[in-house]
């Protein structure tokens, strides 16, 4: 019995330990209650069996008593007969019989007393066992109730932790949405520096590592990472996958941002018509972003040389929001392209007035000033652009060109050296060619012969500028023989490296 109760207690203790570790709250508690009810039923059944056994023992004792009484009754009856016979047959036989009868009665009484003692002992044992069983059952019930209370306490704490976890997940999800929205907002800008793009790509990667992020948010963050990293084709593919898989999860605001980013990626991959198609189907319900939409549509039309529609959309952007610097900047580029320099200058100045850190606006304004041969002011603009963003090659190249146009060959060379030191961009060949303009040096010529090209695309641009300058009247002060030597070296490099074009 004790072994059975010990097994039962161990089972219950194991169940309660499992309850402590399990997170399946309701099912686990129901299982515990069911097992407790089953154990109680078995205890009740055992108690009933004990009571039944005691009743059977008492029934047997009663039957024994009846049997003893029955024997006494019959013995007394036979004694009467014997007495009669004694009376009939004499004294000896009756005396003998009387002695035997008394002996039998004494034995019977002794047996009855022993039997009564046994009955009393059995009753005492049964009573003691019943009492012990009741105590053990009470102890088990107390332990079970204690475990139930302990389990309820754990369940309550688990529920509290679960609620806190849900609140944390909700807060984290809201924070993730805000971070993604901030990246979408940043993607609207066209004048991001390389540092800003790198920081945005890092932020997108951090969002992707959030364990509570949804699959939709993770894929969107992955697309934004490629977008800010300049992997536009990959970003385009990921955005299209997001649209196909999560159309029911994308809010109207997010859809506008995704369309805008797809269109921009299409522009950067050379598919301007696709860009226009996405820009044109963007909803116009967000007034705070319509200006960016019109501006981006204008850029797409500008790239396919549809200047009328580009102009129309730039003007719409400015009318919608006259503080959007990129619209003035892009409109200035268009006006420069059609050689409307006066209006172009006004738009560049307006863009700089709105955003005095707009590197591209300073650089493009410098190009305009160079086009009208105002090299001194162009140099000021290029230097300002370099001051704001030293990671951009174009201002360095344009500044070197402006110095060449002013016949300041030394400053042109120094500018290209700075560019090469910062970016390892391969302009050292052009630097060496410029050195040939300053002196006839066999070491320089040998150095040029041993150089390798780091960036043929940028060298092509540099060679074109150098060739233009060599044919420009501003370079007439340079000895024609040196200029011919430079042309010879350029032609030789172009023949060696076909990807370089003048």
C-alpha pair distances (Å), 33 with each of 30, 148, 261, 442: 5, 8, 58, 99
pLDDT value of position 355: 94
Please check whether residue 273 lies inside any domain of the structure: no
The mean pLDDT of 52-78, rounded to a whole number, is 74
3-state SS, one letter per residue, for 274-286:
HHHHHHHCCCCCC
Q: Is residue 59 part of a domain?
A: yes
Name 327's Cβ contacts closer than 8 Å, sequence gap at least 6: 291, 294, 295, 298, 314, 317, 318, 321
For 436-453, the pLDDT digits (tens) are 666 655 555 555 555 555
In this predicted structure, which of 28-42, 118-132, 304-318, 478-492 has the lowest mean pLDDT? 478-492
What band does 91 get if pLDDT is binned at 50, 70 and 90? low
Question: Quick one: pLDDT at residue 2?
Answer: 54
Q: What integer pLDDT is reported at residue 41 of this predicted model?
A: 80
The whole-number pLDDT of residue 108 equals: 78
What DSSP character marks residue 273? H
37's tokens:
């009810």
Please report the pLDDT score of residue 238 as a whole number: 92
pLDDT of residue 479: 64
**Reported confidence tier of residue 289, pLDDT bands at 50, 70, 90:** low
On whether residue 340 sits in a domain, the answer given is: no
Domain end residue (candidates: 137, 169, 201): 169
Question: Encoding tokens for residue 118?
Answer: 């046994």
Q: Structural domain tally of the chain?
A: 2
Alpha carbon distance 23, 82 (integer Å): 88
> Which region among 19-28, 279-288, 468-477, 481-490 has the lowest average model confidence (pLDDT)?
19-28
Give the domain-ending residue among 119, 140, 169: 169
More confident residue, 340 or 494: 340
Supply the pLDDT for residue 377.
97
**pLDDT at res. 306:** 95
The answer as to whether 142 is a domain residue is yes
Q: Work out the average pLDDT over 159-180.
A: 64
Domain range enclosing 35: 2-169
Question: Is residue 86 situated within a structural domain?
Answer: yes
What digits encode the pLDDT tens for the residues 234-283?
A: 999 999 999 888 888 888 888 888 888 898 899 888 888 888 888 887 75
Q: Cα–Cα distances in Å, from 112 out to 78, 125, 179? A: 20, 20, 97
71 has pLDDT over 80: no
What is the per-residue pLDDT for 237? 93
- CA atoms in the 13 A half-sphere facing the CB of 218: 8
What confidence tier does 175 reach under pLDDT thresholds 50, 70, 90?
Answer: confident
Placement of tokens 């499992």 in the chain: 18
Domain termination site, one of 169, 195, 221: 169
- Distances in Å between the alpha carbon of 59 and those of 51, 54, 55? 12, 9, 6
Would 398 be classed as within a structural domain? no
Q: Which of 267, 280, 258 is nearest to 187 (CA)?
A: 258
Least Cα distance to 181 among 202, 207, 146, 155 occurs for: 207
Q: Residue 253: which of 322, 190, 177 has the closest Cα?
A: 177
Q: Using CA atoms of 142, 145, 150, 153 in order, give the dihedral in degrees to the nearest 10.
A: -140
Is there a domain that residue 47 lies in?
Answer: yes
Asked if residue 295 has pLDDT above 80, the reply is: yes
- The more confidently predicted of residues 347 and 22 is 347
Question: b/e per residue, 58-97, with b = 16+ CB within 10 A?
Answer: eeebeebeeebeeeeeeeeeebeebeeebeeeeeeebeeb
**Mean pLDDT over each residue of the chain, to the nearest integer:** 77
Evaluate whether residue 203 is within a structural domain.
no
Question: pLDDT at position 225, please?
Answer: 92
- Please report the pLDDT score of residue 273 as a whole number: 86
- % of the chain beyond a pLDDT of 70: 67
Q: 334 falls in which pLDDT band (50, 70, 90)?
A: very high
Q: In the structure, what pLDDT confidence band is assigned to residue 368 with cuts at 50, 70 and 90?
A: very high
Q: Please give the Cα distance from 3 to 475 (Å, whole number).
A: 111
Secondary structure E strands in 178-221? none
CA distance 314 to 306: 12
């Amino acid at each position: 019995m004790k072994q059975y109760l010990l097994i039962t207690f161990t089972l219950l203790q194991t169940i309660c330990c499992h309850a402590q570790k399990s997170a399946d709250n309701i099912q686990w508690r129901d299982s515990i209650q069911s097992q407790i009810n089953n154990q109680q039923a078995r205890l009740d059944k055992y108690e009933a069996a004990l009571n039944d056994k005691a009743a059977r023992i008492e029934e047997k004792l009663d039957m024994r008593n009846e049997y003893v009484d029955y024997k006494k009754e019959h013995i007394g009856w036979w004694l009467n007969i014997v007495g009669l016979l004694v009376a009939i047959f004499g004294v000896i036989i009756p005396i003998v019989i009387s002695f035997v009868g008394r002996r039998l009665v004494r034995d019977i009484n002794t047996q009855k007393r022993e039997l009564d003692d046994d009955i009393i002992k059995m009753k005492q044992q049964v009573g003691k066992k019943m009492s012990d069983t009741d105590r053990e059952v009470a102890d088990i019930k107390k332990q079970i109730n204690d475990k139930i209370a302990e389990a309820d306490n754990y369940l309550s704490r688990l529920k509290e932790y679960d609620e806190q976890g849900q609140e944390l997940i909700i807060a984290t999800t809201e924070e993730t949405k805000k971070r993604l929205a901030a990246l979408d907002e940043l993607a609207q800008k066209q004048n991001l520096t390389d540092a800003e793009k790198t920081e945005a790509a890092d932020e997108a990667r951090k969002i992707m590592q959030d364990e509570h992020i949804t699959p939709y948010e993770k894929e969107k963050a992955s697309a934004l990472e490629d977008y800010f990293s300049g992997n536009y084709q990959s970003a385009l593919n990921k955005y299209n996958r997001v649209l196909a898989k999560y159309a029911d999860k994308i809010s109207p605001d997010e859809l506008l941002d995704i369309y805008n980013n797809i269109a921009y990626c299409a522009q950067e991959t050379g598919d301007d018509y696709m860009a226009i198609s996405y820009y044109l189907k963007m909803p116009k319900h967000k007034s705070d972003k319509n200006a960016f939409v019109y501006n981006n549509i204008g850029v797409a039309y500008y790239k396919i040389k549809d200047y009328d529609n580009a102009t129309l959309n730039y003007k719409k952007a400015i009318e919608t929001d006259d503080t959007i610097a990129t619209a003035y900047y892009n409109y200035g580029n268009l006006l420069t392209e059609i050689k409307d320099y006066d209006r172009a200058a006004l738009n560049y100045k307006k863009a700089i007035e709105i955003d005095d850190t707009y590197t591209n606006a300073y650089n493009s304004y410098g190009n305009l000033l160079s086009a009208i041969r105002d090299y001194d002011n162009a140099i000021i603009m290029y230097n300002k652009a370099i001051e704001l963003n030293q990671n951009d090659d174009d201002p360095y190249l344009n500044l070197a060109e402006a110095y060449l146009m002013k016949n300041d060959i030394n400053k042109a060379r120094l500018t290209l050296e700075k560019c090469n030191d910062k970016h390892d961009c391969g302009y050292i060949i052009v630097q060496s060619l410029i050195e040939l303009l300053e002196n006839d040096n066999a070491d320089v010529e040998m150095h040029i012969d041993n150089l390798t090209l780091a960036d043929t695309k940028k060298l092509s641009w540099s060679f074109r500028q150098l060739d233009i300058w060599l044919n420009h009247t501003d370079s007439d002060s340079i000895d024609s023989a040196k200029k011919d030597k430079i042309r010879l070296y350029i032609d030789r490099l172009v023949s060696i490296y076909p990807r370089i074009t003048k």
